[in-house]
Amino acid sequence: MTPYELLAIVAVIGAARAVLSLRPVVAGSAGRSTAIAREFLDPFIIAGIAAWILITFVARTYYIPSGSMLPTLQIHDVLLVDKFEYRFHRPKEGDIVVFPPPVPTPDDFIKRVIGRPGDTIRVAGGIVYLNGSRLSEPYVAERPAYSLEVRDYGIFVSYGAGWQRLDPSMANVPPRSNWTASNRVPPHCYLMFGDNRNDSEDSHIWGFAQDAGRFATGPRSNASAGFTGRAFLIFWPPSQAKIL
């Protein structure tokens, strides 16, 4: 349930409560309509407002619909997502983050942070190299079957038959003026991979995610960007429950 759907339900209950409270009091009823409204509807309204505040500003649940984060996250897992943490600091390398991607979709995506602003990134021989050092990734399902480099103010991907530069009309790759160096992840941009590298629609396809502002290029150019929050707990099913 989204915050807007919850707020709509609270509004309907509040309207029902107001209607019952304003009904003319029938002789001998001693205001029972108002008492009933307060007794049965007020707790739902208060609980609904409290839940809306929590899922809007603090935490919310997230359902895993696909296998892009296998084996870390299984299909149908339900997570708790911390929406408060990133108000105080940037996402860290390795965080599992829920965010709106730079491609049209009705749902947020969930991926792992691999490259942050200022980082150098390349994928070669199935290994990710972050700032020149091999990245230890015990969580991946299998090594990526592609190579990737952030260079020349762009993202280049190879599937073994030459390099292809991600097209800014199809991917979020900021213009040269937004970069601080030709081979470093630009400000406010993040390279995001799924743990199931060869079955994940992620940054090697649609470019950078962003922590703020508007997407620079791609099919959602000028749409608001940001991070919904960090996934920190699998709480359903109980057999899969763990802190991430």
Residues recognised as catalytic: 68, 111
Q: How far is CA 215 from CA 66, 141, 193, in A?
A: 24, 30, 18
- Give the separation between CA 99 and CA 117, rounded to whole angstroms: 16
Tokens, residue 61 = 């649940």
Q: 129: exposed, middle or buried (C-beta count within 10 Å: 0-12, 13-18, 19+)?
A: middle
Task: Give percent helix, percent strand, percent coil of the chain, each to the nearest 5.
Answer: 25, 25, 50
Bridge-based pairing of strands 147-151 and 154-158 is: antiparallel
For residue 226, give every residue at least 6 positions away whose Cβ sits within 8 Å of its Cβ, in sequence order, or none: 99, 100, 210, 211, 212
